[in-house]
């Protein structure tokens, strides 16, 4: 069996792996192979909510999400307009202390250039006529936020990379991956590929892959849930995506008058090979209770399907992106804490810049400084995941 040779092997064809391939091709880094035993977006990317908001925790995240939004808008305008919609994003609470934190977050976000403002119950009712907001203590809205179809954006990245000459080896069982001849060797049933550098972009499987390569890092896969529902009467299209801070339920518009809603995040480690892919009764009941109280116009919504996926947490809620061992040419892009779709385009562009900047991947690291893997070296690899739309913020990571 002949051995093919490439510069970079990307392990994983989720949205961030395909985005990375797209950006590597644009920078003429290559040849590049993207490998996945399944198809693009078959893992967490295809099960993601697709909300893309700048209402985040630090300037780095805001910049990265803004870059991603701009890129998704360009891709969709060129290939599939339905994959990207600007609809805004609203959050609210009826708790006085949470409202104070929300007000603090608003001022912080404005300082970072995010166009977000407080809104009152009447404006929310005008924008979301199926909701009830008379008991709120605080609410904010950012008009420029968007929703995307994650599977479609992933496919657009994959097709762009393919057209640029990237080799995509998909839906093929992996036999082995490891060190060989000073680089990395990936073997499937039909071929062997050797690359100078390996990027682990394997989503929920990244923890296991990195440990097998001798680089155990604090990553915890966890299960989260979502559902698609169809109300009897559709609201305005598209309505803003929403997040009820008190119940931690989010909802966003889907095509044909449907709603995608979720929370259902579990705070224990999950096995990405054996997790339960269906929605739990308790999760569905929690959605129904929230709809009954906060969205009475949706209380009769028909449940079309509920499902679960596995995301990956880090101890500080920041992703893990960059060189794991520069001397070996080993890199990772993982640990997005459920916000991979929001960050994928911007993060991939920055990592591609690092890989293009130098042979060993130790130059051009400044755009990734807050998320470099080195910050987590030596930390316990076991911890309880705690992702979510936290109201915390600031320049320093919160552990």
- Percent with pLDDT over 90 in the chain: 82
pLDDT tens digit sequence for 126-135: 999 999 999 9
Where does the pLDDT of residue 12 fall: very low under 50, low under 70, confident under 90, or very high at 90 and above?
very high
The CATH architecture of the domain made up of 3-46+151-219+315-376 is 3-Layer(bba) Sandwich (3.50)
Confidence of residue 187 (pLDDT cuts 50, 70, 90): very high
The band of 381, judged by pLDDT with boundaries at 50, 70 and 90, is confident
Total Cβ atoms within 10 A of residue 296: 12
Question: With a threshold of 0.85, does the pTM exceed it?
Answer: yes
Crossing angle (nearest 10°) for helices 59-79 and 340-357? 100
How is the chain split into domains, by residue range?
A: 3-46+151-219+315-376, 88-145+221-313
Fold of 88-145+221-313: D-Amino Acid Oxidase; Chain A, domain 2 (3.30.9)
Query: Does residue 235 register a pLDDT over 70?
Result: no
pLDDT higher than threshold 70 for residue 115: yes
Average pLDDT, the chain: 92
Which of the residue ranges 139-143, 324-328, 352-356, 357-361 would you say has the lowest mean pLDDT? 357-361
Look at the block and give the residue holding tokens 């559709």.
Answer: 234
Q: Which pLDDT tens digit goes with each residue over 51-97?
A: 999 999 899 999 999 999 999 999 999 999 999 999 999 999 999 99
pLDDT at 361 over 80: no
Task: Return the pLDDT at 398.
Answer: 34
């Amino acid at each position: 069996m002949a051995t093919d040779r490439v510069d970079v092997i990307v392990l994983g064809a989720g949205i961030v792996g395909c985005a990375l391939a797209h950006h590597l091709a644009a920078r003429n880094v290559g040849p590049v192979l993207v490998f996945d035993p399944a198809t693009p977006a078959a893992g967490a990317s295809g099960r993601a909510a697709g909300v893309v908001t700048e209402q985040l925790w630090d300037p780095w995240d805001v910049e990265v999400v803004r870059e991603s939004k701009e890129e998704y808008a360009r891709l969709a305008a060129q290939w599939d307009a339905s994959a990207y919609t600007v609809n805004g994003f609203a959050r609210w609470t009826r708790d006085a202390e949470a409202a104070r934190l929300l007000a603090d977050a608003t001022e912080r976000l404005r300082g970072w250039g995010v166009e977000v403002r407080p809104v009152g119950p009447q404006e929310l009712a005008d924008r979301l006529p199926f909701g009830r907001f008379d008991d709120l203590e605080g609410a904010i809205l950012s008009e420029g936020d968007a929703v995307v179809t994650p599977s479609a954006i992933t496919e657009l990245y994959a097709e762009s990379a393919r057209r640029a000459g990237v080799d995509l080896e998909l839906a093929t069982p992996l036999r082995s991956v490891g060190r060989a001849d000073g680089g990395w060797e990936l073997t499937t049933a039909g071929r062997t590929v050797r690359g100078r550098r390996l990027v682990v972009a394997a989503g929920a499987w990244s923890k296991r892959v990195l440990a097998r390569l001798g680089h155990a890092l604090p990553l915890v896969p966890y299960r989260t849930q979502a559902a698609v529902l169809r109300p009897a009467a559709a609201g305005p299209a598209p309505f803003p995506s929403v997040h009820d801070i008190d119940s931690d339920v989010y909802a966003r518009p889907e095509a044909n008058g449907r709603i995608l809603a979720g929370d259902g995040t579990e705070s224990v480690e999950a096995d990405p090979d054996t997790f339960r892919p269906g929605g739990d009764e308790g999760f569905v009941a929690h959605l129904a209770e929230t709809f009954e109280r906060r969205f009475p116009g949706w209380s009769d919504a028909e449940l079309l399907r509920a499902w679960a996926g596995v995301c990956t947490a880090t101890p500080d809620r920041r992703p893990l992106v960059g060189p794991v061992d520069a001397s070996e040419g080993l890199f990772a892009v993982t640990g997005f804490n459920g916000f991979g779709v929001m960050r994928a385009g911007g993060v991939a562009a920055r990592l591609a810049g690092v890989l293009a900047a130098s042979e060993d991947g130790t130059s051009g690291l400044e755009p990734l400084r807050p998320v470099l893997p080195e910050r987590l070296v030596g930390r316990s690899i076991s911890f309880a995941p705690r992702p979510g739309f936290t109201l915390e913020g600031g320049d320093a990571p919160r552990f």
